Amino acid sequence: MSGARATARANIALAKYWGKSDEALNLPAVPSVSITLDGLVTETEVAFEEGLDADRVSLDGELAGAKESARVVKVLDQLRQRADTGLRARVTSHNRFPTAAGLASSASGFAALVAAAAGALNLTLTFQEMSALARAASASAARSIFGGYVELAAGALGDAQLGAVQFADPDHWDLRVIVVTTAAGRKTVGSRAAMNRSRDNAVFYRAWVDESVELANRVRRAILERDFDALTMASEQSFLAMHATAMTSVPPLLYWNPVSVRVLHRVWELRERGVPVFSTMDAGPHVKAVCPSHVAARIAEELSRVEGVLATRICPPGRGVEVTKVRST
Ligand code: DP6
């Protein structure tokens, strides 16, 4: 047996990825910029074993369904090809996310899977190579390979090597992301199906793609210059444009619930009162509020009192993926 264990963290995009330019290679149509978050962690162990007739995938203690398994097997196949082996693997993955957060875990999940499987096969891959492999599985996962502040460019057709890059480490800026949970359970339409629908028929999709480069540039520049006001404007525009695009899809995609809207308004009220904070949202009803660390506790307290909010959790910027070998037997 040869095995390895990897830890990867979720990330939150401030310039959003929404739409693909190449579905077969899973290339994003737009650039995205994110912060890797501490506290939302996936731990994955991969062991390649003689005598297994198929890959065995367990997620949070349960055997993975056919669809989830197929995505995992696809990643393993690519790594097996590189290592020139036919050995099947046992994959055990746990999300150390707060219960009922209902947050997407595919980013940290696929980042951890790639790193653990590469480690188990003794492949010495660069972070760039791991990021490209993770991107092929789930584009947001490309960003979770790296810690701190990360960019994933838009992919040109056929660009199989596209991976993310870190442009500032976790210590660059003492921001906090407050994850505000506004509902229990899983989202109804997953981001993959939803962004494909937007690309196929959303009235605003073309405008979204056209604006995305400038938005991502503004977000990256604001982070590099630690300009919180500029980051506020660019990030809120990015998430609102993404959601406006989703809303104009047919059938429409409206991820917000009444609690999400109340939280967005409370964030704007706080800002009116001079508190530095802005919101972002993904393909679900939860709101993430971003602020400098010194005001995080106070803002989390305020947001936890918004009617219907189930939980708040403060996350600092986190490190990239980490791998350890598991002893061979
Ligand atoms: C709204 O990375 O889950 O979170 O590449 O199809 O797996 P696939 O999509 P995924 O999409 C994430 C979309 C988002 C915005 C973002 O993280 O940039």
Residue whose Cα lies nearest atom 14 of ligand 1: it is 282
Residue whose Cα lies nearest atom 12 of ligand 1: it is 140
DSSP 294: G
Is the pLDDT confidence value at 99 over 90? Answer: no
Is the pLDDT confidence value at 102 over 50? Answer: no
Q: Is the CB of 235 under 6 A from ligand 1?
A: no
| Beta-bridge mates of residue 58 | 63, 92
Distance 138 CA to ligand 1 centre (A): 7
| Closest atom, ligand 1, to C-alpha of 110 | 7
As a whole number of angstroms, the distance between CA 127 and CA 132 comes to 9
DSSP 148-174: SEEEEPPPPTT-TT---EEEE-GGG--
Residue 242's H or E segment, with its range, is helix 228-247
Residue 156: how many other CB atoms lie within 10 Å: 10
In degrees, to the nearest 5, what angle opens at C-alpha 39 toward C-alphas 175 and 263? 60
As a whole number of angstroms, the distance between CA 95 and CA 62 comes to 12
pTM here? 0.96
Q: Is the CB of 192 under 6 A from ligand 1?
A: yes
Q: Given this model, what pLDDT does residue 189 score? A: 87
Residue 100's pLDDT band, with cuts at 50, 70 and 90, is: very low
Q: Is the CB of 219 under 6 A from ligand 1?
A: no
pLDDT digits (tens, 9 = 90+) for 166-183: 999 999 999 999 999 999
Q: Is the CB of 140 under 6 A from ligand 1?
A: yes
